[in-house]
Structure 1
Amino acid sequence: MTSFSLRQHVPWLIHILGWILLGFSLFMFQPLTWQVDLPYQFWEKQIIFFGLLVGLYYLNAQVWVPKLLFQNRISLFVGLVLLSIAVMVFLSKQIEMWLNLPELMHRAFHPEGGPRVQRKGVRIDMFMLMTTALVLGISTSIRAVQKWQKDAQLRQELEQAKVSTELSFLKAQINPHFFFNTLNNIYALTLIDADMAREALHKLSRMMRYVLYETQNGTTLLSKEIDFVEDYMQLMQLRLTEKVNVQFDKPSPIRDVPVAPMLLLPFVENAFKHGVSALHSSRIYVGIKQYNGTLDMEVRNTVFTEKTLSLDQGSGIGLANTRRRLDLLYPDNYTLTVTEKNPDNEYAVHLSLHLS
C-alpha cells in the first residue's frame, strides 16, 4: 500500500522538485548576488515572476496544449506562446520601473554616486525571455510526452482487450443454447414447412460463417453487421409465440461504413432474453438509422417484474463488456443511454455512434 501511494505521488514530487530548481536559479544562481548587497525590491521582482512562470506553465499544460495544439489549432497556439513571452518581457520592464529597480541597482553598484549610463533604444530582458521560453517549452514537451504515453497505453490496452476477449466474444456471443434451440426449431419446421426450414438453415449457416470468418478483421461492413442482426432476430422468432410482437427497422439504402463486428448484437440479445414472456403479451423493437455519419440504434422491450434487466447481464460477453468495448474502440465518439422503465413499460437502450 505504501509503495502504491508513493507511486501515485511521484508526478507531484517531480513538479515540486522542478520548481525548487527553477526557484534556486532565480533567487540564488545570480552573479549579482555575489557582488553587491542587492535591494529587497530585486527579490520582490523575482518572487513575482516566479509566480507568473508557475501560472503560465500550468495554463499552457492544462489549457493551451490540449485544447489548441492537440486539436490542430497550431497557429493560435504558437500565437499565444509568442504573445505570452512578449507580455512577460514587457511586464519585466514595467515592474522594474514600478519598483524603481534601475535607480536602486545603480546605487547598489555605485555607492559613491557615480554617473549613470543612459542606454539608447529598447532594452529587452533576455534572461526573462529565455526563462519564459524554457518554461513553455518544458511544459509543452511534458504534456506531449504524457499524451503519447496515454495513447500508447490505450493502444496496448485495446490490443490486450482484443487478445483476451475477442475470441470469447466472437465464439460465445452466439451461445450454444441459441444454436441448439435453433437447430431443434428447424428440425421441427421440416415436418411442417420444408421451404421455410431450408431458409432458416441458410440463415443459421450465414450467421455462423459471419462469426467464424467475417469477424477475424478489426472491422466489417455495416450492411453485413445489420444483416447478421436481422438473421438473428428472424431465427429467434421461430421459437416465439404470437404473444410476442417483433419489429425491426433498418436504413434503406444502407450507406456502408466500417464498424466493429458483433457490436450491435448484445443489445438485441438482451431484449430477447428479458423481453419475452410465455404468459403475457410483449413487444420487442429494434430500430437502426443513419444520418450525417452517425449510426443510431434503439432497442426496446417490454419489462416484466420477474425479469432482471441490467446492462451487466446477458449472454456472450455481456452488455457491460460491450460498453467497455465501445470505450476502447470509439472513445468520445458514442453515447449510450439506458432507460430501465419508460412510460410505455419498456426497457430502452439508445446507442448513438459516430462512424467516420
Structure 2
Amino acid sequence: MIKKLSLTPKLGLHLLFWLAFIAYQIISLGVMSNDVVSFTFDVQQITLVLTTIIVCYTNLLIFLPKFYDSKKFATYICLLLLLVFFGALLDRAWAHFIWRRWDKYHFPERYLLDKNQFWITLRILRNAVRIFLMIALTTFLRLARRSYQTEKNIKELEIEKISAELGYLKAQINPHFFFNTLNSLHALTIDTSAKANALVLRLSDLMHYMLYKTGTSKVLLTEEIKYLEDYISIEDIRFADRLEVSFQYFGDLNGKTITPLLLLPFIENAFKHGITNGSGWVTINLKVSGNELALRVKNSYHQSIEVREHGLGVKNLKRRLELTYPDRHELLLIKHEEYFEAYLKIGL
C-alpha cells in the first residue's frame, strides 16, 4: 500500500520559509545591468543554507525551550553568542577547506585572488552578523507565533467555559438548592445509617468543590486530589464488594496547581468499564516529581466488551489539554489483553 505524503501546516511553513531564504540568496547574487537582473547560483550557498539551518534549529529546539522559557536569560544569551561564533567558524571552515579546493579546479581566477588562510577576521565577522540576523528573525517568528497561539487558546477556553456554564445551568436544577438539600439529608441520616451518612457527606463535599472551587482556571492540586478521593469513595460505596479499588499518590503536592476537573474523566472511565462479569478492579497512581505530574489509571475489562478509546469524552479531554497545557503534556491510552490503561503526564 502506498501512503500519501501529507505535510502539517507547521512543517509547510518551515519549508516555505527556507525556500524563501534560498530564493533570496540566489536573487542577491543577481547583477543589475541595463535594467536586467541575471540570476546566479553559487554552490557555496549549499553549505551557507545548511549552516544557517543548523544554528537556527539548535536555538529553536534546544536553547529556547530549555533556557529562555525557563527564564535563564543570562545562560541563554551566553549560549546564543557561542552559537553565533560557532556558526561563523563553521561557515568559514566550509569556504576554506572545501570550496577553495572547488574554486581551484572550477574557478581558478577566484582561487588565485583568494587568501590562503583560515582566519580572516572580516569574513568571520560578516558570517557572524548574517547568522545572528537569521537567528533573531526565526526567534521573533517563533515567539510571535507562540504569543498568537496562546492568545487564541485563551479566547477558546473562555468561549468553552461560557458554553459549558450555560449548558450546566440549562440542564441542572438550582445547584444551591441541591447543595442545601444534601445538608438537610445529612442531618436526617446521622442517627440512621453510618454508610448513608458518609455517602451524603461525600456528595456534599463534591458539590461544594464544584460550586466554589472550579470557577477559576487553576486550583490547588491538594484540593483536586481531595475531590478525587471523595468521588472514589462514593463509587466504592456504590459498587460495594464488586469492585476492588486502589488510589495512591506520591510526591511534593504543596503549592502545586492544576486545571480543575482535568483528571476526573480518567477516573470516571475506569469505574465505567471496570466492572466485568459482576466484578473487577481499578488502580489509580498519581505521582508528582518536581513540576511534573504523572497519572496512571488501570481498570479491568472483558474482551467481549468494546472499550471506546476515542469517544467524545476523550476528544474533549485532548482538546482541553491542548488549550491548557500546550506542548506540556503526554497522553497515552493503551488497550492491553486483560486491562485498559490511561497515562497522562503534564508540566504543572
Q: Provide TM-score, normalisation by structure 2.
A: 0.70
Question: Which residue of structure 2 aligns with residue 34 of structure 1?
Answer: none
Question: Which residue of structure 1 aligns with residue 71 of structure 2?
Answer: none
The 1:205/1:133 distance shift into structure 2, 3 A limit, reads: same
Report matched runs for 1:287-326 at 5 Å: 287-305=285-303, 307-313=305-311, 318-326=313-321
In terms of Rg, which structure is larger?
1
**Residues in 2 aligned to 1:8 and 1:296: alpha-carbon distance in whole angstroms:** 30
Question: Which residue of structure 1 aligns with residue 323 of structure 2?
Answer: 328
AA matched with 1:272: F
- Aligned to 1:78, which of 76, 81, 102? 81
Q: Provide TM-score, normalisation by structure 1.
A: 0.69
AA matched with 1:297: L
- Aligned to 2:26, which of 23, 39, 43? 23
Please list the CA deviations of residues 188-237 of structure 1 after superposition, one character each: whole Å capped at 9, or x if unmatched: x9499344434333322221221122112211111110111111122233
Give me the CA root mean square deviation. Answer: 4.3
The 1:6/1:284 distance shift into structure 2, 3 A limit, reads: closer
Partner secondary structure for residue 255 of structure 1:
coil
Partner secondary structure for residue 66 of structure 2:
coil
Sequence identity (%) = 22
The 1:350/1:16 distance shift into structure 2, 3 A limit, reads: closer
Partner secondary structure for residue 242 of structure 1:
helix
Question: Which residue of structure 2 aligns with residue 54 of structure 1?
Answer: 49
The 1:90/1:125 distance shift into structure 2, 3 A limit, reads: farther
**Residues in 1 aligned to 2:95 and 2:303: alpha-carbon distance in whole angstroms:** 72
**Residues in 1 aligned to 2:119 and 2:282: alpha-carbon distance in whole angstroms:** 77
Question: Which residue of structure 2 aligns with residue 109 of structure 1?
Answer: none
Report matched runs for 1:77-116 at 5 Å: 77-89=80-92, 99=104, 101=109
How many residue pairs get matched?
310
Partner secondary structure for residue 254 of structure 2:
coil
The 1:190/1:62 distance shift into structure 2, 3 A limit, reads: same
Instruction: Please tell me whether residue 353 in structure 1 is matched to residue 331 in structure 2.
Output: no
Gaps of 5+ in 2: 1-7, 34-39, 68-75
The 1:83/1:157 distance shift into structure 2, 3 A limit, reads: same
More strand by share: 2
**Residues in 1 aligned to 2:299 and 2:12: alpha-carbon distance in whole angstroms:** 48
The 1:266/1:93 distance shift into structure 2, 3 A limit, reads: closer
- TM-superposed CA distance for 1:311, in Å, is 3.1
- TM-superposed CA distance for 1:336, in Å, is 2.9
- TM-superposed CA distance for 1:149, in Å, is 3.0
Q: Is the 8 A contact 1:334 1:351 kept in 2?
A: yes
Report matched runs for 1:209-248 at 5 Å: 209-248=208-247
Gaps of 5+ in 1: 31-42, 107-118
The 1:339/1:70 distance shift into structure 2, 3 A limit, reads: closer
- TM-superposed CA distance for 1:332, in Å, is 4.2
**Residues in 1 aligned to 2:342 and 2:119: alpha-carbon distance in whole angstroms:** 66
**Residues in 2 aligned to 1:6 and 1:243: alpha-carbon distance in whole angstroms:** 49
